[in-house]
Amino acid sequence: IVQKALQQQKQLAVSQRHEFQTHFSGIGGLLQAEAECLQRGHAQVSDMHQLMQRKPVDVPKVKDGLSKLAQLNTCFADVHQRLKAQLTALAGLQTAAQDKQLQQAQSQVAVMFKVMQAMATQLQTTQRQVTQLQHFGTQAQQELASVARAHEERMQRQQEQVVDLQMQLEETTKSQDELRRLLGEKGSQAAVDGAEKQVAALRQ
């Protein structure tokens, strides 16, 4: 937007400079024409003064000189009027250029103000989103910590259960060994009693 505004200002300046150059060129030509009319007028007045000093006065030449002087005055008046119109147009052009520059500047300021408002709104939205993300991140960290604690507690309970099962297994193994030992002793005693009974039967 800034580059576009600068480009518009540059284009406007180029256009206005061209218009001013055109008017200045016209004014320069009119000033030169006015100077020529004045020079010729002064020369004609000098000629008239010389004619009037001659005796006798050459009336036809005086009349011709007066006619030429009148033509020069008309030419001077025309050039002066055109020069005045050119200067008026130049003043109007300058005023119009200033008004156009002012309007363009106001338009650009309005556009920049809208852009700044949009950027401010976007910044507020971004800040709000960042705050929400930070809050979400905090919640996520808390939830992860809670999950980690729960997992650790569950692992600890499982380890305790494994230890309990190992102890129960050891107790069961001991009980089975004791039972086998007792069963083995009872079996040996029964074998001895059976042998004694057989010996007694043979004696009879």
Can you give the residue range of the structural domain that contains 75?
Answer: 2-112
- Of the spans 36-45, 47-56, 144-153, 195-204, which averages the highest pLDDT? 144-153
Which pLDDT score, from 0 to 100, does residue 202 have?
55
Residue 23: inside a domain: yes
- Of the spans 28-42, 108-122, 146-160, which averages the highest pLDDT? 146-160
Angle at 103 between CA 100 and CA 105, to 5 degrees: 105
Residue 33: inside a domain: yes
Round to whole Å and give the CA distance between 126 and 120.
10
Question: Does residue 133 have a pLDDT over 60?
Answer: yes
Residue 92: inside a domain: yes
Rounded to an integer, the average pLDDT of 166-182 is 79
Residue 54, H or E segment: none
Residue 20: inside a domain: yes
Residue 146: inside a domain: no
How many structural domains is the chain composed of?
1
User: What confidence category does residue 91 fall into, taking pLDDT thresholds of 50, 70 and 90?
Assistant: confident
Its pTM stands at 0.39
Residue 158: inside a domain: no
3 state SS of 58: coil
Residue 30: inside a domain: yes
Between 7 and 78, the more confident residue is 78
Structure tokens at 43: 């020369």
pLDDT, one tens digit per residue, over 48-72 is: 777 677 777 666 777 787 787 778 7
Which pLDDT score, from 0 to 100, does residue 61 have?
76
| Closest alpha carbon to 27 in 95, 80, 94 | 80
Residue 22: inside a domain: yes
